[in-house]
Chains A and B, each alone.
Chain A
Amino acid sequence: NAGVTQTPKFQVLKTGQSMTLQCAQDMNHNSMYWYRQDPGMGLRLIYYSASEGTTDKGEVPNGYNVSRLNKREFSLRLESAAPSQTSVYFCASSEVGLAGVIGETQYFGPGTRLLVL
């Protein structure tokens, strides 16, 4: 039981390049999330998916797109990377469904460190 896995662990991009961050969970969770972590700002939600086939914007969605490929996988794409997107990106999952089961724990992956030059 690997929990939440993320690839790659570290990436360097040049401004304007594109890349996709991959996330997978093996806990059969309905909901998945992408956060970015910047010093002094805590974690900010980029996008989330409350269930397979649905995605919604979070607090800071500009410059990103997501795909909920299936129940296990939720990818984050940077179409044209900018230095402002230098950050640590975390994927998380939770057993929360559309019926509004709330208060459930979110489980986090180890993170992807992204540097945009």
Chain B
Amino acid sequence: AQSVTQLGSHVSVSEGALVLLRCNYSSSVPPYLFWYVQYPNQGLQLLLKYTTGATLVKGINGFEAEFKKSETSFHLTKPSAHMSDAAEYFCAVSDRGYNQGGKLIFGQGTELSVKP
């Protein structure tokens, strides 16, 4: 069965600093991996996803993530944090079982704070 672990429930960075949000997964089959962002009092929206092909995936708002099979990781990075990046970020893996309707298994979430 698939599972996702996000290391750190809260991360705080200064504006302009590197953002690194960690995600490790467990999957018995090649995973499909996602990062979603949730701004306060809103639903989730997709930042980026990895299915097949290039292991470095670029998403919206300058975020990117690298799929590392050997480390079972899919960490999210952004070179320079902006105040508007403050939000909660969720890593997810797709349940690839037959007829599973594309279910996602989510990590616990990481709240990102950006200090001026």
Partner of B98, one of A56, A58, A100: A100
Counting CB contacts under 8 A, is B28 at the interface?
A: no
Q: In the complex, what's the smallest C-beta–C-beta distance from A69 to chain B, in angstroms?
A: 17
Q: How many residues of B contact A (CB 8 A)?
A: 28
Total A-B residue pairs with C-beta atoms closer than 8 Å? 74
Which chain B residues border A98 with CB–CB below 8 Å? Answer: 99
Q: How many residues of A contact B (CB 8 A)?
A: 33
Does A102 lie within 8 Å of B90, measured CB to CB?
no
Which chain A residues border B94 with CB–CB below 8 Å? Answer: 102-103
Interfacial residues, chain A to chain B (CB-CB below 8 A):
4, 31, 33, 35, 40-45, 48-51, 56, 58, 90, 92, 94, 96, 98, 100-111
A45-B103, A96-B101, A103-B49 given; 10 more Cβ-contact pairs under 8 Å: A42-B109, A43-B90, A48-B101, A50-B100, A58-B103, A90-B44, A92-B44, A102-B32, A105-B46, A106-B44
